[in-house]
Amino acid sequence: MNTTLIRRTIFGLAAGALAAGGLGSAAYAQRDPAYDAARSAGKVGEKMDGYLGIVGAESPDLRRLVNDINIKRRAVYAEKAQAANATLEEYALTAGCLAIARTVPGEKYQAPDGTWQTRTSAPPLRDSRCPA
C-alpha cells in the first residue's frame, strides 16, 4: 500500500513537472512559420518605433500578419511600460532599439532616416539614443 502511494506521488510530481515544462515552453513560443518566412524574405522589417513594418509590396495576408503581431506587441508594451512607470512610446522605442539590434543578416530594419536597410554582419544603423 505504501509503495503504491509513493508511486502515485512520484507519478503526480512527474506529471506536474511536465505540465510546468509545457507552460514554460509556451511562454517562450517560437515565431509563426509565416512570420518567420516573411522576416527572412525581407517582406517585413523592424521599425524604430518598436513595431513591425511592411517592406515593399503590401498584400492583405501580409498586412493581417503584421497587424496581428503589432497588436500583440502593443499589448505587451502597454503592460510592461505601466509596470516600469514609463510611457507606451518610451517602452516601444526601447524595444525597437533592441529588436533592430537583434536582427540577423538578411533581415530588414528601419534606419534613423526612415529608410529600410538590410542587416549585414555590421552593426545596424540605429537611433543615437539607443543603448549600446
Which stretches of the chain bind other proteins, using CB under 8 A?
27-32, 69, 72-73, 76-77, 80, 84, 86, 90-91, 93-95, 97-99, 102, 128-131
Determine how many CB atoms are found less than 10 A away from the CB of residue 116.
16
| Nearer residue to other proteins within complex by CB, 24 or 114 | 24
- Smallest gap from residue 9 Cβ to other proteins (A): 32
For residue 95, give the nearest of 79, 116, 107, 118 by alpha carbon.
79
- Smallest gap from residue 108 Cβ to other proteins (A): 14
Q: Which three cell numbers mark 8?
A: 502515485
- Smallest gap from residue 117 Cβ to other proteins (A): 18
Helix (H, G, I), strand (E, B) or coil at 52: strand
Q: How many residues does the chain have?
A: 132
